[in-house]
Structure 1
Amino acid sequence: MLENHRLNLLSAMTEGNLWPTDSPWVRRAMESVPRDRFAPETVWVWTGERYEAVHRAEAPEAWAAEVHPGPYGSTVTQVTDDMPTSSISCAAVVATMLDSLALEPGHRVLELGTGSGWNAALLAERATQVTSIEIDAELAAHARQRIEAAGPGGRVHVITGDGDGDGGPPGDAVFDRVISTYAVEHVPWAWVKRTRPGGRIVTPWGHTGCVALTVAQDGASATGWVQAPARFMPTRRTERPPLPFERVRGRGRDIGGVPPAFPRPVQELSHPDVLFALRVLLPDVQIDTRTDTGTGTDTQAAAWISDGRSSWAVLEQASTTANAHHGGKRDLVDEVTRAWCVWEERGAPGMYDFGLHITADAHHVFTGDDPHGPGPGWKPLA
């Protein structure tokens, strides 16, 4: 039963051409280090209204299916205050990020966010030494046990601490590669200082993608490009958690009167290029989309928008009409519309056209071949 789910996931990766051709070691690692060895006895599934526990002892088939979902399915392993706070990431994105890391034998790797320990164990299949930092002491303890049981324990050192600042490994240790398993809005400069000149940093970036940066030879900057779409949980140092989209969705139907029209097809909001550009221009705004909502109405697509505080918007597409409801201090419908126009005025670049150049005191988002070129850059809209 469990083995069938393992094989189904690996087969789906093959059928989808999702194994990185430049890094054949990634496939070998995932085949020899399966996800289920790092999953807790209880995982969580979203029912449409809440997260519910799936216990391995009580429902082994359902547990196995949640641990080995499709290539783009993640496994929620921790829920706190009704919100997911840790997961085993989807196999397709993990494979892409490991490929983007350009990892070679002999490399020393710093991982931020141990989580279940699966990613650290995969890294240890290629690297000589992996140092992994986990802010949650309980998660760190369980990860140590699972990594040791899986075999690569001698090559992985799990530290309980906060890797976003100047903390982390003691001393002045410098690494060949740095990889994060959680999303950051700004890449901490401490990560660059921990990476050798010419080394590489791969991280989910808050703008719904992951980015790979190469540290300059003088160590004074790091530059790179977006590698793939990716939505990861944010760093736990985030000052405020986003307002759960599930708690925003019902608000639109509570507003009386005729809702205003939204000037674009709502389903276009789900395109990765659009989502990425909107997050660059509106970094504190989160957008969640669904198509064919199946609610018993004629709604074909819907979007829920939130600034994580008090402002929200609900968009619904029915046939050729797109309606919008919003509330709070900000008119998020207008902000999204303006940002969309700015993106189109600048040529509607795709997410893979975006790059990031960082220094100790600045982040510069750019498109084109030269991060120092004449373009206006992509600053958040006022």
Structure 2
Amino acid sequence: MTSADDLAGYRAALDRAMAAEQAWPAGAPWVREAFAAVPRDAFAPERLWRWDGRAYLPVDRAVDPEGWAGELFGVVHTAAVTQVRDGLPSSSLSAPAVVADMLDGLRLEPGHRVWDVGTGQGWTAALAARRTGAGRVVSTEVDPGLAAAARGRLAAAGLDVEVVTGNASGGGVPGGGQVDRLHATYAVEAVPWAWVEAVRPGGRIVYPWGRLGHVALTVADDGRSATGWVQGLAQFMADRCGPAQASTGYAAYRAVRGDAEPDTERLLTRDPAPLEGDWDLRFALRVAVPDAVLLTGRDEDGVNAWVHDGDRSWAALTARGDGTAGLYQGGPRRIGDELTRAWDEWEELGRPDRYDYGITVTPDAQWAWQGGPDGPPRPIARPAPPGA
């Protein structure tokens, strides 16, 4: 078992790594203090899960204490998987750097009432409670087992947080009324309007947007809209009660393409290499073609890319080793052409970074924009109504 001294060493190493990465919010020193007061390991189960390149394998604290601690504290930008179902992760302790960034975006103050959406292990609720005070945080978790475990951990930490079992995407704040802040720990493609109604005018909503990015919205003075900027990049578990998100793995691309030969093929006079590591480009493409799932891989000719929409349309960009690529497409839409047009538009705009984008939510529609709320709108599908 990992000793108290060992855990103290891991915590100190995480603190130093966060400082080296400049991941501690300069304007919110309380976040660093809260990390120390309610450490990550106090909210971790005895079994974590590690990806070995083919499957998620258990890492038990009693069997491999160093491996277990390494999963928790090893990388500031990596989540620790805490639950696996049907071979896929279904819950996690979010990456420390992302948690700190999202808490900074909430602009929490003592006395604020907070709705923590997606309790998980209870850690983010605990961090928020350290800032706001006793009885100011209510948290909702759809999984009864996770909810019960989180209640126990929060009580053991001496924190007065109410944990409610239920679907937070389909209703209002447990106990009624409005909150000052809403913090979501699972990804939604579209913000449930109930979340906006749950937050007072001028309040903040911080949530992960779909497969990539997290956003901070401010509710308008009349309560009839919420608008805000992208805060950073992150990948979170999807809403279990919402529409299924298309898988990001290569197997999903193969499932969409099947054995089909391309309907069209042409030469691209551009290198696909930026699709691998230019995250500002990838975010711009995610905004412009929100249902496109993009993955990349390397061979002796360079970076190749594969795209699909989770339905029937697909594209492959195959590097030729000379800075060009073949574009092969199939299905009812030309999703590769959509992607390359969006790439051209991003170039024409001067290659804006991820922080130049934002989202507006109203009762009837929601959209992404670039440059400011009056920028060209990119519609986002509305969430299904409760019970649909």
TM over 0.5: yes
Higher mean Cα deviation, 359-368 or 28-37? Answer: 359-368
1:204 and 2:208 correspond: yes
Task: Give the conservation status (yes or no) of the 8 Å contact 1:243–1:309.
Answer: no
Q: For 1:270-309, what aligned pairs fall within 5 Å after superposition?
A: 270-289=277-296, 297-298=299-300, 300-309=302-311
Find 2:183's aligned residue among 168, 179, 183: 179
Once superposed, what is the RMSD of the aligned Cα atoms? 2.7
Residue in 2 aligned with 1:266? 272
1:376 and 2:376 correspond: yes
Structure 2 length-normalised TM? 0.87
Q: Distance in 2 between matches of 1:318 and 1:197?
A: 54
Residue in 2 aligned with 1:163? 168
Task: Give the conservation status (yes or no) of the 8 Å contact 2:226–2:362.
Answer: yes
Count of residue correspondences: 370
Q: Distance in 1 between matches of 2:17 and 2:44?
A: 20
Residue in 1 aligned with 2:241? 237
1:87 and 2:92 correspond: yes
Q: Distance in 2 between matches of 1:193 and 1:100?
A: 19
Q: CA deviation at 1:240?
A: 2.2
For 1:11-30, what per-residue CA distance to the aligned partner results, in whole angstroms no more than 9, with x for missing partners? Answer: 11011111101000000111
Residue in 1 aligned with 2:385? none
Counterpart code for 1:18: A
Q: For 1:219-258, what aligned pairs fall within 5 Å after superposition?
A: 219-248=223-252
Q: Distance in 2 between matches of 1:272 and 1:24?
A: 28
Counterpart code for 1:120: A
Question: Following superposition, which runs of at least 4 residues in structure 1 exceed 6 angstroms of deviation?
Answer: 249-257
Q: CA deviation at 1:131?
A: 0.6
Q: CA deviation at 1:64?
A: 1.1
Runs (5+) with no aligned partner, structure 1: none
State the SS of the aligned residue for 1:125: helix
Task: Give the conservation status (yes or no) of the 8 Å contact 1:287–1:305.
Answer: yes
Counterpart code for 2:29: P
State the SS of the aligned residue for 2:132: coil
Higher mean Cα deviation, 328-337 or 66-75? Answer: 328-337
Q: CA deviation at 1:249?
A: 6.8
Residue in 1 aligned with 2:155? 148
Task: Give the conservation status (yes or no) of the 8 Å contact 2:172–2:195.
Answer: no
Counterpart code for 2:132: A
Task: Give the conservation status (yes or no) of the 8 Å contact 2:327–2:336.
Answer: yes
Q: Distance in 1 between matches of 2:290 and 2:32?
A: 34
Structure 1 pair 145–314 and aligned structure 2 pair: CA distance change class (3 A): farther
1:214 and 2:218 correspond: yes
Residue in 1 aligned with 2:352? 349
Task: Give the conservation status (yes or no) of the 8 Å contact 1:26–1:99.
Answer: yes
State the SS of the aligned residue for 2:168: coil
Counterpart code for 1:71: V
% same residue: 47
Q: CA deviation at 1:123?
A: 0.6
Q: Distance in 2 between matches of 1:299 and 1:83?
A: 32
Structure 1 pair 318–46 and aligned structure 2 pair: CA distance change class (3 A): farther
Structure 1 pair 289–40 and aligned structure 2 pair: CA distance change class (3 A): farther
For 1:66-92, what per-residue CA distance to the aligned partner results, in whole angstroms no more than 9, with x for missing partners? Answer: 111211011111111111111111111
Structure 1 pair 195–168 and aligned structure 2 pair: CA distance change class (3 A): closer
For 1:215-235, what per-residue CA distance to the aligned partner results, in whole angstroms no more than 9, with x for missing partners? Answer: 111111111111111221221
Q: Distance in 2 between matches of 1:264 and 1:168?
A: 50
Task: Give the conservation status (yes or no) of the 8 Å contact 2:250–2:295.
Answer: no
Task: Give the conservation status (yes or no) of the 8 Å contact 1:243–1:306.
Answer: no
Find 2:335's aligned residue among 324, 329, 332: 332
1:106 and 2:111 correspond: yes
Counterpart code for 2:369: F
Counterpart code for 2:378: W
Structure 1 length-normalised TM? 0.88
Higher mean Cα deviation, 142-151 or 117-126? Answer: 142-151
Task: Give the conservation status (yes or no) of the 8 Å contact 1:49–1:246.
Answer: no
Runs (5+) with no aligned partner, structure 2: 1-5, 382-388
For 1:194-225, what per-residue CA distance to the aligned partner results, in whole angstroms no more than 9, with x for missing partners? Answer: 11111111111126211111111111111111
Structure 1 pair 2–331 and aligned structure 2 pair: CA distance change class (3 A): farther
Task: Give the conservation status (yes or no) of the 8 Å contact 2:116–2:182.
Answer: yes
Task: Give the conservation status (yes or no) of the 8 Å contact 2:370–2:376.
Answer: no
Q: Distance in 2 between matches of 1:303 and 1:161?
A: 39
Counterpart code for 1:338: R
Counterpart code for 2:178: V
Task: Give the conservation status (yes or no) of the 8 Å contact 1:282–1:380.
Answer: no
1:64 and 2:69 correspond: yes
Q: CA deviation at 1:245?
A: 0.4
